[in-house]
Structure 1
Amino acid sequence: MAKSHMQANALMIQGAGSNVGKSMLVAGLCRAALHRGLRVAPFKPQNMSNNAAVTVDSGEIGRAQALQARACGLDPVVDMNPVLLKPESDLGAQVIVQGKRKATMKARDYGKTKHKLLPPVLQSFDRLRAAYDLVLVEGAGSPAEVNLRAGDIANMGFAEAANIPVALIGDIDRGGVIAQLVGSHTVLSENDRNRIKAFGVNKFRGDPTLFTAGMQVIADHTGWDGVGIIPWFDRAHLLPAEDVMDVASRPGGALKIVVPRLNRIANFDDLDPLAAEPCVSLDIIEAGRALPGDADLILIPGSKSTIADLAHFRAQGWDVDLHAHIRRGGRVLGICGGYQMLGQRIVDADGIEGAPCDVAGLGHLDVVTNMKPQKHLALTKATYRATGADVEGYEIHIGETDGPDRDRAWLDIGARTEGAASADGHVRGCYLHGLFGSDEFRATYLAELGAKVDPLDYSKGVEDTLDALAQHLETHMDVDRLLALASTTEGP
């Protein structure tokens, strides 16, 4: 296996299972390292997510790495997540390598060829650790999935190739954490288990001292060093969600925003600033549940597979609910894939999303979308035409949308206009993600919906929460001992 020869401080955080909180732990450790005056950067060899971030070097990476970059005081770059898998169906995913789309592959085919991606992964990693004092690496899934070890680039395969130590994290909230960690030790090869230098237990509820004996049991069975029992972080929901499973309803104020959960929902960070607003109640509607009749706004989010999600939308009867909502004078906003769905037709002559087709849209905006193979990626600054408010966001889409309702565009992006609106202005769409992160625009838009809005600095709230997360880890982990492991290597 290829080796990375440059020596610099790096530590990999792996999980004894999926969703143990690796992303948040790495973000907190990044901020704790920054507080120590270290130049620190995040890295994840392989991520699987449709919640992508556009980078300053014109690529895309997983949004968790973008948040971790923010915790480091950095702008995100493609080297922080060189392989991103974006599921397009239950069997296949789009493969993004160093920020650019390379192929769409079935899971079985990807499994056979993923080892070929190790060289660019190591290339990205070496660039980061040449530039920073410390690189904190996040694994994917669990190294205990030893059936995936051959050709692995996400966990122990990467740690071996990069020659870095590992800390393994268990999740006590789901139960069986002793079995998670001791079981991982049992199934791993001797070389892999010896690479693990420490373990921690995350998401504890109650008095952590009640698990002191459990930590000793794990240490006795594994020989690993316990570095902390981390209690549940109550402010986690104030950070941008990484995983679709983290998208949840947030009860709050009188303004009700309803969001149908699409099968391939993508770039759902649009919802995070709305959920943080005290005046807003965010209602995520699962399949099989009608869109409620008392919504102030129905927001149709982005999608990785617009045509398939449009069929799913209709299968739930949501098209009927949406029509009734509009007939009652309700407001609708479609962002990216949701914008495309609201039009008259979606034409996919080249079969970008499957078989070539021409499908009817929901018909609430007089526009037509033509799917094109070239993906549009851009960090974007815009102006809200109604008030002149500045809006910052990003564009990440395939397809071009045009038609009479584009004459009522409601955003200006330099010399071009963006978005479309119905004649009464109640139905709008645009391609600009992240627009609700702009405080002035968000306040204006919510006020137009009838909300009483108190000023909220969303960005400061995220920064304060990252600081609180770092302090949480400082309180409950031996962060110095953990970070000291980053200076160790395993041979030449």
Structure 2
Amino acid sequence: MDKITKTTRTLMVQGTTSDAGKSVLVAGICRVLARKGVRVAPFKSQNMALNSAVTKDGGEIGRAQAVQAFACGIDPTVHMNPVLLKPNTDIGAQVIVQGKALEDMDAIGYNSYKKVVMKPILESFQQLTEEYDAVIIEGAGSPAEINLRENDVANMGFAEEADVPVIIVADIDRGGVFAHLYGTLALLSESEQARVKGFVINRFRGDIKLLEPGLDWLEQKTGKPVIGVLPYLHGLMLEAEDAIDVQQIDAEVNSITVIVPVFPRISNHTDFDPLRMHPQVNLQFIGKGQTIPPADLIILPGSKSVRSDLDYLRSQNWDKQIQRHLRFGGKVMGICGGYQMLGELISDPYGIEGESGSTQGLGYLPITTEIKQHKQLKQVSGSLTLTANNTVAVTGYEIHAGVTAVETEQGAPIKLTDGEDGILGVGNQVFGTYLHGIFEQHSACNEILAWAGLTDIRTSDFQKTKEDGINMIADAVEQYLDLNKLGF
């Protein structure tokens, strides 16, 4: 293919570790440039995450790139994340290329496939450079992982091929920040070191004067400037790319308790961010070995491997605890894979999500699900009715391989522009839906919370909270980073 054009300004943000702040920094830089009137887009060649988003044209990309596109003020496209890996075992993942699922591969098989996948990666990147004035690129993990350097498409392998400048960010809150930065640079080749334009230190607390001797040492030892030191941003509420973020605002006295059991292959846990940020919701994630406490609402989340996660749910005795919860009048909701678990049967005749076979569901909803070979990917909108005589607007997106048959003539609680979704069961105590992102629209969020028993609801504006979070990051980038050193 042709060389990447140079009229577009580019910058790649790599990190010393996972969760060093790459996603957040890219979003912040994107917002700063968008404020200046620059037509800017995000890019991440390869993402490994079970949190994904659906583009308008029915493609699937990493959730982080959708947030970064929001920071740019543009709609996300599949070219912003041309390769998405969705783990379905400890050694394998579903490979999604330019928005469409390709096949499942184990780690060794995918390592060989990287030689092939670099072509669509560069094609997507070139398309963005032709459409936008600037492209801000996010790396993955660390560029210093020696075992992953061969055929690398996510970090320096991509940077060298596309010929883009790089900055390296490290999280000082973890400790060892100078060792991380110095060691990462030292493990790069000479050509890779040459394209590193500087360092960013993230999440610093305290007096910067105490850090200055270390900054001077780092610059003298490496010959690379420190572009800036970003402070620890207290109160920042933004979607997490990988690890579940348990940070939330303090719930008010008039609140309800919502429990989310965490499965080994939980997907799209960002569904619960609007609840995490709601002042009247005490949201708790329950993990291995924990008992579901008394609650108003239990939500079974999405899953990349529904049958094995359902087996896990039973191994934790959560099925019995859900049964007890319903007996005492509590509400239960299932989203996507969680919706399928609430039905009578889940069958996977083609072995799409694991070994072929069937698993009995929890039996609370009159539905059966068959896992098909082609995934459903679409954005949807319509109306939701859960409480008496109250119909509200709802939006969301669907990502599922399962096709669900509803074995009742009861009307669906969600009416979409192109059909229906969901079902209520067990005397209005159990609600299932395929819609991810259902809590992001405050009208639908309020309706579900009212159904769960919350009264005197104070509307929480999730979109404003997300906007405020991105602006907080952008303000810090403008104040503490010298973007002039990077040509911006």
User: Where does residue 468 of structure 2 map in the other structure?
Assistant: 464
- SS state at 1:246 partner: coil
Q: CA 1:97–1:343 in 2, change beyond 3 Å: closer, same or farther?
A: same
Between Structure 1 and Structure 2, the one with more helix by share is 1
Instruction: Identify which range, 344-353 or 35-44, moves more after superposition.
Output: 344-353
Alpha-carbon displacement from aligned partner over 1:392-411 (angstroms, at most 9, x marks no partner): 10011011112335724210
User: Where does residue 397 of structure 1 map in the other structure?
Assistant: 400
Contact 1:406 1:420 in 2 (8 A): no
Q: Distance in 2 between matches of 1:187 and 1:404?
A: 59
Contact 2:249 2:279 in 1 (8 A): no
Contact 2:227 2:485 in 1 (8 A): yes
Q: Distance in 1 between matches of 2:178 and 2:434?
A: 47
User: Where does residue 230 of structure 1 map in the other structure?
Assistant: 230
Contact 2:305 2:354 in 1 (8 A): no
User: Where does residue 286 of structure 1 map in the other structure?
Assistant: 287
Q: Is residue 152 from structure 1 mapped to residue 152 from structure 2 by the alignment?
A: yes
Contact 1:365 1:405 in 2 (8 A): no
Deviation at 1:423? 4.2
User: Where does residue 487 of structure 1 map in the other structure?
Assistant: none
Q: Distance in 1 between matches of 2:147 and 2:263?
A: 31
Instruction: Identify which range, 469-478 or 274-283, moves more after superposition.
Output: 469-478
User: Where does residue 478 of structure 2 map in the other structure?
Assistant: 474
What letter matches 2:210 in structure 1? L
What letter matches 1:435 in structure 2? I
Q: CA 1:406–1:130 in 2, change beyond 3 Å: closer, same or farther?
A: farther
What letter matches 1:59 in structure 2? G
Instruction: Identify which range, 330-339 or 437-446, moves more after superposition.
Output: 437-446
Q: Is residue 22 from structure 1 mapped to residue 30 from structure 2 by the alignment?
A: no
Deviation at 1:262? 0.8
Contact 1:251 1:282 in 2 (8 A): no
User: Where does residue 252 of structure 1 map in the other structure?
Assistant: 251
User: Where does residue 429 of structure 2 map in the other structure?
Assistant: 426
Q: Distance in 2 between matches of 1:109 and 1:248?
A: 37
Alpha-carbon displacement from aligned partner over 1:23-68 (angstroms, at most 9, x marks no partner): 0010011001111111000000000001000012210100000000
Q: CA 1:171–1:3 in 2, change beyond 3 Å: closer, same or farther?
A: farther
Q: Distance in 1 between matches of 2:146 and 2:301?
A: 36
User: Where does residue 176 of structure 2 map in the other structure?
Assistant: 176
Unaligned runs of 5+ in 1: 485-492
Q: Distance in 2 between matches of 1:331 and 1:405?
A: 20
Q: Distance in 1 between matches of 2:325 and 2:229?
A: 48
Q: Is residue 271 from structure 1 mapped to residue 272 from structure 2 by the alignment?
A: yes
Q: Distance in 2 between matches of 1:290 and 1:408?
A: 34
Deviation at 1:230? 0.8
Scaled by the length of structure 1, the TM-score of the pair is 0.95
Contact 1:332 1:426 in 2 (8 A): yes
Q: CA 1:101–1:222 in 2, change beyond 3 Å: closer, same or farther?
A: same
Deviation at 1:420? 1.2
User: Where does residue 454 of structure 1 map in the other structure?
Assistant: 458
Q: Distance in 1 between matches of 2:39 and 2:83?
A: 23
Unaligned runs of 5+ in 2: none
Q: Distance in 1 between matches of 2:124 and 2:406?
A: 42
Q: Distance in 2 between matches of 1:126 and 1:478?
A: 27
- SS state at 1:10 partner: strand
Instruction: Identify which range, 87-96 or 346-355, moves more after superposition.
Output: 346-355
Contact 1:342 1:364 in 2 (8 A): yes
Q: Is residue 379 from structure 1 mapped to residue 379 from structure 2 by the alignment?
A: yes
Scaled by the length of structure 2, the TM-score of the pair is 0.96
What letter matches 1:246 in structure 2? D
User: Where does residue 416 of structure 1 map in the other structure?
Assistant: 419
Alpha-carbon displacement from aligned partner over 1:217-272 (angstroms, at most 9, x marks no partner): 11111111111111112233x21221134355765232100000111110122101
Contact 1:257 1:298 in 2 (8 A): yes
- SS state at 1:31 partner: helix
Deviation at 1:3? 7.0
User: Where does residue 4 of structure 2 map in the other structure?
Assistant: 5
What letter matches 1:129 in structure 2? T
Alpha-carbon displacement from aligned partner over 1:382-401 (angstroms, at most 9, x marks no partner): 21134221101001101111
Alpha-carbon displacement from aligned partner over 1:367-386 (angstroms, at most 9, x marks no partner): 11111111000010021134
- SS state at 1:355 partner: coil
Deviation at 1:456? 2.2
Q: Distance in 2 between matches of 1:5 and 1:43?
A: 14
Aligned residues: 481
Contact 2:17 2:170 in 1 (8 A): yes
What letter matches 1:66 in structure 2? A
Q: CA 1:83–1:477 in 2, change beyond 3 Å: closer, same or farther?
A: same
Q: Distance in 2 between matches of 1:331 and 1:406?
A: 22
Deviation at 1:460? 1.7
- Within a 5 Å distance, the mapping from 1:24-423 to structure 2 comes to 24-236=24-236, 238-247=237-246, 251-253=250-252, 254-292=255-293, 294-386=294-386, 387-405=390-408, 407-414=410-417, 416-423=419-426
Q: Distance in 2 between matches of 1:374 and 1:407?
A: 28
What letter matches 1:240 in structure 2? E
Q: Distance in 2 between matches of 1:390 and 1:483?
A: 44
Q: CA 1:388–1:289 in 2, change beyond 3 Å: closer, same or farther?
A: same
Contact 1:201 1:230 in 2 (8 A): yes
What letter matches 2:336 in structure 1? C
Deviation at 1:5? 3.4
Q: Distance in 1 between matches of 2:11 and 2:409?
A: 50
Contact 1:4 1:122 in 2 (8 A): no
Aligned alpha-carbon RMSD (Å): 1.5
Alpha-carbon displacement from aligned partner over 1:157-202 (angstroms, at most 9, x marks no partner): 1000001110011111111111111111221111111110111111
Q: Distance in 2 between matches of 1:19 and 1:103?
A: 27
What letter matches 2:475 in structure 1? Q
Q: Distance in 1 between matches of 2:310 and 2:356?
A: 15
- SS state at 1:183 partner: helix
Contact 2:413 2:424 in 1 (8 A): yes
What letter matches 2:351 in structure 1? G
Alpha-carbon displacement from aligned partner over 1:50-88 (angstroms, at most 9, x marks no partner): 100001221010000000000000100000000000000
